[in-house]
Structure 1
Amino acid sequence: MEKDLRIEEVREQAEGYFRRGEFFCSEAVVHAINGFMGWPYPAEVTRMASAFPIGLGKSGCLCGAVSGGAMALGMVYGRRHGEPMDARMFPVSARLHDHVKSLYKSTCCRVMVKDFEFASPERKEHCVRITGEVAAWVAERILEEEEKR
């Protein structure tokens, strides 16, 4: 029960950041996950996610929430200079991709929002939900990793 509450809290935080206009999708995921992890990185790490919204700099390609989720996974499974790659990094990133694709039929921003007018509140709410879903999925992976220790 505690695990589910923590996951929902992260979902709501990420969604709230985006809904209120404090961050875009990728930034909201990175910021929420950094906080969820107890701020192991300075809050400024969120700036690294600022190029990814609206499909990588408004290009409409890879969903910003997915990009932010991959960056957040890097906070857990990433390496430092001179270290070997953590064997879990690529499989967990691929699972994130596959999870989003199974829910939304794509990870391409323009495909995921094609049924909405871009400036509409409905499109924004759709993207808010995707952002929350990615943050919750990443938080669940982090908690699973903690349970293994």
Structure 2
Amino acid sequence: MDKIDTTQYTKEEIVEMVKKEAENLYDDGTFFCSEAVVTVINNYLGQPYAPEVVKMASGFPIGMGKAGCLCGAVSGGQMALGIVYGRTQGEAMQEKMFEMSKGLHDHIIKEYGSCCCRVMTRQWRGDDFKSPERKRHCVEITGKVAEWVAQQLINDNKILAKDSE
């Protein structure tokens, strides 16, 4: 996937494209949830990191390596936010990182009642994450996380749209 010239699209178009691309990357088997979110956001930011950054997200699907803990899509969203608001050694922590991180957490809690993979997918317990219904549910969560992150980054002018020039 290539980086995207976001200035050719409206804010609404970008948010919808981000959502659909994240969902498609998961749905077609290219990536799992965390990987899809990181990849799509990195691309819409103009690839500040090489596409191989997705490797950092590979241990987070299915609640951290199938442990059922923190939702992989949420983990991917947090990593994607770190692309913009994170720091390197010697830099001060940006308060915005905490604000955005908590915002994503609270958004998912409001939508799904939890950020825990095993809670969010409890109705499919025992299917070893193989049922099409469970996959559809997780694809949807992946899209919603990517959509939320993109909306915040657009609102903060980190992803530029046609109507923000």
Q: TM-score range by the shorter chain?
A: over 0.9
| Aligned-partner Cα distance in 2 for 1:86–1:15 | 30
Return 5+ residue gaps in structure 2 as ranges.
1-8
What residue in structure 1 maps to residue 39 of structure 2? 31
| Counterpart pick for 1:21 among 21, 29, 34 | 29
SS at the partner of 2:95? coil
* Structure 1 residue identity aligned to 2:105: H
Shift, 1:74, TM fit: 0.2
Q: Which runs of 4+ in 1 moved over 4 A?
A: none
1:134 aligns with 2:142: no
1:48 aligns with 2:52: no
TM-score normalised by structure 1 residue count: 0.96
1:145 aligns with 2:156: yes
Shift, 1:135, TM fit: 0.4
* Structure 1 residue identity aligned to 2:26: F
| Aligned-partner Cα distance in 1 for 2:100–2:38 | 16
Aligned length: 149
| Counterpart pick for 1:68 among 56, 63, 76 | 76
SS at the partner of 2:94? coil
Shift, 1:81, TM fit: 1.2
| Aligned-partner Cα distance in 2 for 1:120–1:51 | 21
Return 5+ residue gaps in structure 1 as ranges.
none
Q: Percent identity?
A: 55
* Structure 1 residue identity aligned to 2:143: G
| Counterpart pick for 1:96 among 104, 107, 131 | 104
- Which is greater in Rg? 2
* Structure 2 residue identity aligned to 1:121: P
Shift, 1:87, TM fit: 1.2
Q: Deviations over 1:53-87 (max 9, x none)?
A: 00001100000000000000000100111010011
SS at the partner of 1:8? helix
1:7 aligns with 2:15: yes
Shift, 1:119, TM fit: 1.2
TM-score normalised by structure 2 residue count: 0.87
